[in-house]
Amino acid sequence: MTPSTPLLRAENVVVEYGSRRRPTRVLHEVSLDVGPGECVGLVGESGSGKSTLGKAILGLVPVAGGRIEFDGRDITRLSGRERRALASDIQVVFQDPYGSLNPMMTVGEILSEPLSVGGAGRAESRRIVGEMLERVNLPASVAGRYPSEFSGGQRQRIAIARALVRRPRLIICDEPVSALDLTTQASVLDLLIELQRDTGVSYLFVSHDLGVVRRICHRVAVMYRGHLVEVGEGDQVTREPRHPYSRRLLAASPVADPVQQRARREEWLALRGDPLPDPAR
Ligand code: ADP
Ligand code: MG
């Protein structure tokens, strides 16, 4: 069997912030693929560049070098119009379920907005909105209510429903459960897994939490100061990582069992003082 072509391919992607004369490089030639129906985790400490890679894929930050392909097509630099057209294929769910939904719009309006862009009629919009709400385990009747009437977990379900309405092939999930309590996290993760199984959508799943990505991701990439230092099978990377930085990240991630947690802490303390290899090497 030949391996299937990746849906998303990032090749040597470079992103720089700051002025043209004094740029700060935030992504250093990052290469990563996401296959159809695959969930690829992107982990790393805060500030390592995870969100920036997501933004580069979404066209929200300019790419200074390298190339991004979607379904074999170069999407590194698109016009505004081409970018808007691509929104039916690539969607995003952000971390903050409070800031990401317009408080002045009803849930029904929020969900039908992307549909009107796609040219759907009113009756069809209403039908799809109801269907999407049920998909994320909310009753269709919530369409008339406002975001402020919902809990964080319910809002995240609404954000997921909004991402789904145009039947995208890839969703960039940027810390989608990080703001939620543990029980709610688990149910939103289960929902994402179920949606992937049912629709075949791919996820690039950004998280700083190894436990979360272990649960949902097929493969995991580890980012350290703008470099991808390790990419591998989810179980391997989250349980027996190879790169010293990934090992430190694992040692720093909390576990529920106090005995294991004590062992983790010992390991973390032991690793803490070791100098890390230069990622640019
Ligand atoms: P992560 O999502 O892994 O926490 P980010 O991609 O948000 O990391 O940030 C990577 C680096 O880029 C950080 O050092 C951050 O301070 C910097 N950065 C992020 N956004 C901007 C911006 N708009 N302008 C300048 N620097 C930025
Ligand atoms: Mg981030």
pLDDT band at 268 (very low <50, low <70, confident <90, very high): confident
Shared domain for 176 and 43, answered yes or no, is yes
Judge whether 43 and 50 are in contact, CB under 8 Å: yes
| Residue that is last in its domain, among 167, 186, 208 | 167
Bridge partner list, 90 = 170
Best CA proximity match to 86, nearest among 186, 198, 7: 7
Shared domain for 39 and 73, answered yes or no, is yes
Would you state the pLDDT for residue 1? 42
Shared domain for 174 and 58, answered yes or no, is yes
Shared domain for 76 and 152, answered yes or no, is no
Would you state the pLDDT for residue 256? 66
- Spacing, Cα 84 to ligand 2 middle (Å): 23
On whether residue 262 sits in a domain, the answer given is no
50 CB less than 6 Å from ligand 1?
A: yes
Which CATH number belongs to the domain containing residue 47 in this structure?
3.40.50.300
Range(s) of the domain holding residue 73? 1-89+170-239
pLDDT, tens digit, for every residue of 119-142?
778 888 999 999 999 999 999 999
Instruction: Give dist(CA 148, CA 29) in Å, integer.
Output: 41
Shared domain for 82 and 182, answered yes or no, is yes
Number of domains in the chain: 2
Mean pLDDT computed over 151-157: 95
Nearest CA to ligand 1 atom 10: 49
pLDDT band at 100 (very low <50, low <70, confident <90, very high): confident
pLDDT, tens digit, for every residue of 190-210?
999 999 999 999 999 999 889
pLDDT band at 263 (very low <50, low <70, confident <90, very high): confident
98 CB less than 6 Å from ligand 1?
A: no
* Cut 0.95: pTM above it: no
Best CA proximity match to 174, nearest among 164, 158, 159, 184: 159
